[in-house]
Amino acid sequence: MSAIAVVGFTWKSITQVNNEQALTREGQITDRYTDAVEDLGNKGSEDMRLGGVYALQRLMQDSPRDQATVIDVLSSFIRAHSKKPKSGDRETSLKTILTSDVTAAAAVLASRDSRNDGTTRVNLFEADLHRVNLTGGDLSNANLNLTDLRKANLREAILYDATLGDANLSGASLSRADLRGVILARADLRQATLGGADLRDAYLGYADLRDADLYDADLRDANLYGANLNGANLDGANLDCASFSETDLKGALNIPEKTAPEECDTERWLHPDTRPKHHRR
């Protein structure tokens, strides 16, 4: 047998082995996914559901190309198991504790490598995540419209380009959070802590920021059209080129100087009639 024939035979054998290994691995991934989803759907055991959450996390880490699917599954799980209470029950709901499987699923989503998201978004539309602790978590580009995040711990969280239209963040901690480009239209931020938060280019049209702490927050180029800042602390905040048209600043504390409008690109300030639409499911 010639040397060329030997090399050709060897290469063909190696390719065949690699293909077989790939098929085996693919089958194992499928089996793991099926088992994890089955555990996640267990109605009688919170421990089984918790195991399903962590099994999906390991799958996402081992197979980044399946991350989008895992994001969709866990997002759907959280929405289904954390329905927002009716308005009359909200104070009572604050006293309730989220189940461990729901908080674990939220933590898994927030700890993912967002570079593998592709075009998929974390979608927690209308979920009840009050008091959740996602310190330093990554929820960039997430759909958090109408989400209940009262008293949530989101310190140093990455919420870049996330949408939080009509979200409830009252009493939440967002210190040093990355909120660049975030949409917070009509969001409830009463008594929220936003010290050192990066809110550049954020849209806060009609947001309720009464008694919020914005100490050292970066609000450059932010749009606060019609927002309520009564009692808010703005000490040390950077307000350069921020839009305060129709904003209620009565009682706002320590308002710093800001760049004169003539020095800013005012065309980027959205009028309320042309503001982005938020309620995407």
Tokens of 146: 């109408």
Q: What are phi and psi of 101, to 5 degrees?
A: -70, -35
- Three-state DSSP state, 158: strand
Q: Which range marks the domain in which residue 252 is found?
A: 121-274
Neighbours of 281 (CB within 10 A): 9
> 165 in a domain, yes or no?
yes
| pLDDT for 279 | 43
Identify residue 122 by its one-letter amino acid code. Answer: V
Spatial distance between the Cα atoms of 89 and 82, rounded to a whole number of angstroms: 14
> 192 in a domain, yes or no?
yes
> 24 in a domain, yes or no?
no
| pLDDT for 56 | 96
> 203 in a domain, yes or no?
yes
- HSE of 70 in the Cβ direction (CA atoms, 13 Å)? 32
| pLDDT for 273 | 43
What is the domain-level CATH number for residue 177?
Answer: 2.160.20.80
> 162 in a domain, yes or no?
yes
Spatial distance between the Cα atoms of 43 and 137, rounded to a whole number of angstroms: 28
Burial (CB count <10 Å: 0-12, 13-18, 19+), residue 9: exposed
> 202 in a domain, yes or no?
yes
> 41 in a domain, yes or no?
no
Spatial distance between the Cα atoms of 142 and 117, rounded to a whole number of angstroms: 11
| Stated pTM of the model | 0.83
- The pLDDT tens digits for 31-48 are 899 999 999 999 889 999
Which parts of the chain sit beneath pLDDT 50? Answer: 6-7, 9, 17-18, 20, 23, 270-281
| pLDDT for 147 | 98
What residues form DSSP beta bridges with 253? 233
Q: Please name the residue that has the structure tokens 């702490």.
A: 213
Strands (E), 58-140: none
Instruction: Tell me which long-range contacts 157-161 makes (C-beta under 8 A, separation of at least 24).
Output: 157/110, 158/114
> 59 in a domain, yes or no?
no
Spatial distance between the Cα atoms of 21 and 80, rounded to a whole number of angstroms: 37
Spatial distance between the Cα atoms of 73 and 153, rounded to a whole number of angstroms: 24
In the chain, which residue ranges form alpha helices assigned H by DSSP?
3-40, 46-62, 67-81, 90-94, 100-110
How many structural domains are present in the chain?
A: 1
Spatial distance between the Cα atoms of 271 and 243, rounded to a whole number of angstroms: 10
Spatial distance between the Cα atoms of 203 and 226, rounded to a whole number of angstroms: 11
